[in-house]
Amino acid sequence: MSAAQWPPPSDLDELLARTPRLWDNLRGARIFMTGGTGFIGTWLLESLLHADRELNLGAKIHVLTRDEGAFHARSPRLAADPRLTLHSGDTRTFAFPSGEFTHVVHAATETSSVLNREQPALMRDVIVSGTRRTLEFAAQCGATKFLFVSSGAVYGQQPPHTAHIAENDPGLKTPLTSPSAYASGKREAERLCVEAVARGVDATIARGFAFVGPGLPLDSRYAIGNFIRDALAGGPIILDSIGESSRSYLYAADMAEWLWTILLKGTTARAYNVGSERRITIAQLADLVRRVVAPAAPVKFREVPPPEDSISQYAPSTHLAREELGLSETIDLAESLRRTADWARRQAPTA
């Protein structure tokens, strides 16, 4: 049996059933996207192509990629889809494809913690220059809508007294307490998007927080992915901290719905948080993964004393998205973990 498709068809069917009228805005659309090879980009592409298949939208999409061969290897079904055209180039310097485009989605981002630590100037340049170039293209090609996928990192360290951080948090107007090329680059890129409105670019901003779902890397810096990996291996589920920091996780199908909605219905120059308000500590998360994925797996803490200031929180207020755009969380965390683990189990070929 071949590796399991992601996103799973059932998730795409559910997403489409929730949003039948949303996709009418993309009938006959010609879309340009950066960042189409990662976790977020793949969910965006697959959900759009599924809607196009079912609703006969007649949409066409061009995807910028630095390596067409790698795109074919990672996403062979997408690469072979006749509605999708690959466009080679770097976000900072790519040659503009010819013709008019109706929508531009700038989802490319470099999230490498190593690059952020060892080459911060390069990290910032990739984010800022890539956004500037993509905005220039949007103005040149006559796109009516532009979405920039930003990050909750722009808020900096979430204050301990702030349970859910809102889009108008005053911390955005103060310097970042922990210097981060990634966070400062995203802030500057958001500023460029707002400025581009004066040049006719109808830009909206989506500040992504933490997500979970099929396709999430299980061997990188994301605790939730590592916990699922550990549980699938039978444990132990390892925590690298005391587990008192808190996070929240939005299921990937909800994420895709939110991002498309912000592009198509969001207010120009406005930023919207994209995430879940259901906070959970890392220790509670590890235990939930155990209960959902592998009840017999032990949970263990590494014997490394954490620094005093290691307890943090990262959870958005989604009031704006809920009240203005009618968005909601449809999949709870336990079900999100179950679906992600089921997908991961089907990755290894079987005889």
Q: Distance between CA 167 and CA 177 in Å, rounded?
A: 18
- Report the phi/psi class of residue 56: left, alpha or beta, with left for phi > 0 and alpha for psi in -120 to 50: left
pLDDT of residue 121: 87
pLDDT of residue 171: 87
| Parent domain of 99 | 9-215+248-278+316-332
Q: Is residue 300 part of a domain?
A: no
pLDDT of residue 351: 43
In contact, 193 and 267? CB cutoff 8 Å: no
* pLDDT 10s digits, 298-350: 999 886 655 555 789 999 999 999 999 999 999 999 999 999 999 999 986 54
Q: Is residue 239 part of a domain?
A: no
* pLDDT 10s digits, 174-183: 888 766 889 9
Q: Is residue 152 part of a domain?
A: yes
pLDDT of residue 148: 98
Write out residues in the chain with pLDDT < 70, as ranges: 1-4, 110-117, 178-179, 303-309, 348-351
Q: Is residue 242 part of a domain?
A: no
Q: Is residue 294 part of a domain?
A: no
Q: Is residue 307 part of a domain?
A: no
Write b or e for each residue in 188-220: b if 16 or more Cβ atoms lie within 10 A of its Cβ, otherwise e.
bbbebbbebeeeebbbbbbbbbbbbbbbbebee
**Kind of pairing between the strands at 280-281 and 246-247:** antiparallel
pLDDT of residue 311: 81
Q: Is residue 223 part of a domain?
A: no
pLDDT of residue 234: 96
* pLDDT 10s digits, 35-46: 998 899 999 999
Q: Is residue 342 part of a domain?
A: no
pLDDT of residue 211: 97
Say whether pTM exceeds 0.75. Answer: yes
DSSP-derived letter for residue 307 is: P
* CATH number of the domain to which 107 belongs: 3.40.50.720
Domains in the chain, number: 1
